Structure 1
Amino acid sequence: MNTVLIVDDEPQILRTLRINLTARGYRVITAVDGATAVRAAAEAKPDVIILDLGLPDIHGTTVIERVRGWSGVPIIVLSALGDSADKVTALDAGADDYVTKPFGMDELLARLRAAVRRATELAPADGDAVVETEHFTVDLAAKKVHRDGAEVHLTPTQWGILETLVRNRGKLVPQKQLLREVWGPGYDTQTHYLRVYLGQLRRKLEPDPSRPRYLITEAGMGYRFEL
């Protein structure tokens, strides 16, 4: 049974989500402010977090940043703030997905299933399990990345993008294909997700993120991993 932490200060939202998720077999815990959310994430270790940004004590992006300091748990933002800048800010802080209020329950449940799947599915051990570059090593079987002798902490979404590119190394992976493989059907137009996450990966892996050597952008087409 997967555990979902719902963080929202609207009682009706909490009640609706609790009823729907419990009916579908999820264990649900709730928090009505950011401080309680961070504490619950540490103590309960949920499989996924659904997070509102407009909390009464601290902003939701602060919650994301604090949780990301020690956990890669998938975080789905559920917010009335729907413009592109808000989405990019939340994704840049470490969120995995963004759903705008008012929302359709079927869509939210689909995104929840996709987030859990990305975090739990095992990487097949076919092909070259370990890919080494001059600056970092990607272990596809263990789902780990090491740089300068230390493990690099990646969120499930960051790993999904890197894994897809590494498995297709040397080949152009079109934007739509990358979005479908990492986020699932229905995300073909969310290209700003890719810009944000590739930026994060470059900051973590590239020797000079402003001049990427491994994670290459083909403008208007897609991305490529080069050794």
Structure 2
Amino acid sequence: MNVKTFAQKVVRSLREKIIVIDDNREVCHHVARYLTRHGFEVICETYSNPVLSNVFHQHKADLLLLDLKQPHLAGIELCEELRKSTDTPLLFISSHHEDQLKIQALTSGGDDIITRPFNQDVLLARIRAHIRRNKRAFPTHQQHLLVLPDLEIDLLSQRVLVSGSEVSLSSKEFGLLAVLVKNPNRIYSVESLYELIWTESRMSSLQTVMVHIYNLRRKIEADPHKPRYIHTVRGAGYKFQFEP
């Protein structure tokens, strides 16, 4: 390998990677060309790929850009599948304006939605914001550690410090906290949290999720009634978001 080829490979490896999923090839490549001009490495795929979920693990993208693709909801179904194994920021592009559909897309694990027609510069700004936020929350060398004012969470040792003092969480409480903090600003429905944390078949009311969230807030929030970290999204579920 000559010096020029080696240098090109190094540059590519340092570029942030985005995977774009859209069955409209022309739209997909149009977006890809724009993002490439702004320094990203872009991989285009369509929903016809039978092993689409493997593409994300193979390329280790920094952000996923999915067409919502009504009426079959392929984007939502793929998002739900990916959320079982990746925390990578995921942005939906949609031609639909219904609030209920947007809530469904976000509760499935999406981080944001941008509606067509959109300004490409706005799309670029949102992409950069989500990648920046994700890297700030979990630096590459410390992806297991989240440090915020008065709250420190170590996902490897499962230790939680509040104002410097360790607090004791049950396994279910820590599981809920881990899911939420690894996906900041992502809305989780009560049903999805139950399915993620209570792996056994549903034998009790979903009320148990709300009880555990209540207990978790009592342990990590200075004022559980005015939470700084774990927020309720009316009609949708819960999300982790730092409020200074």
Gaps of at least 5 residues in structure 1 are 141-145, 162-192
Distance 1:94 1:63 in 2: 10
For residue 126 of structure 2, what is the aligned residue in structure 1?
A: 111
Residue identity matched to 1:212 = Y
Q: Equivalent of 1:7, from 16, 21, 30?
A: 21
Deviations 1:34-92 (A, max 9, x none): 64531211211111000012179871111001110000000000111221111100100
Instruction: Please report the RMSD computed on the Cα atoms of aligned residues, expressed in angstroms.
Output: 3.7
Distance 1:224 1:129 in 2: 10
Distance 2:192 2:59 in 1: 28
When Rg is computed on C-alpha atoms for both structures, the one with the higher figure is 2
Q: Equivalent of 1:68, from 83, 91, 112?
A: 83
Q: 1:197 to 1:61 in 2, by over 3 A?
A: same
- Are residues 1:46 and 2:61 paired? yes
- Are residues 1:130 and 2:152 paired? yes
Q: Equivalent of 2:93, from 78, 103, 124?
A: 78
TM-score, length of structure 2 as denominator length: 0.60
User: Where do 4+ consecutive residues of structure 1 move more than 2 Å?
Assistant: 34-37, 55-58, 122-132, 136-140, 149-158, 196-208, 210-213, 215-218, 223-226
- Equivalent runs, 1:169-208 vs 2, <5 Å: 196-197=187-188, 208=209
Residue identity matched to 2:40 = Y
Q: Equivalent of 1:212, from 214, 221, 226?
A: 214
Distance 2:17 2:153 in 1: 33
Distance 2:137 2:18 in 1: 20
Distance 1:155 1:76 in 2: 18
Q: 1:224 to 1:122 in 2, by over 3 A?
A: closer
Q: Percent identity?
A: 23
TM-score, length of structure 1 as denominator length: 0.64
- Are residues 1:18 and 2:22 paired? no
- Cα shift at 1:212: 2.5
SS at match of 1:118: helix
Distance 2:153 2:61 in 1: 31
Deviations 1:194-225 (A, max 9, x none): xx45868976799641673417565xxxx445
Distance 2:30 2:62 in 1: 19
Gaps of at least 5 residues in structure 2 are 1-14, 139-145, 163-168, 198-206, 231-244
- The count of residues paired between Structure 1 and Structure 2 equals 179
Residue identity matched to 1:130 = E
For residue 165 of structure 1, what is the aligned residue in structure 2?
A: none
Residue identity matched to 2:171 = D
- Cα shift at 1:12: 2.1
Q: 1:12 to 1:113 in 2, by over 3 A?
A: same
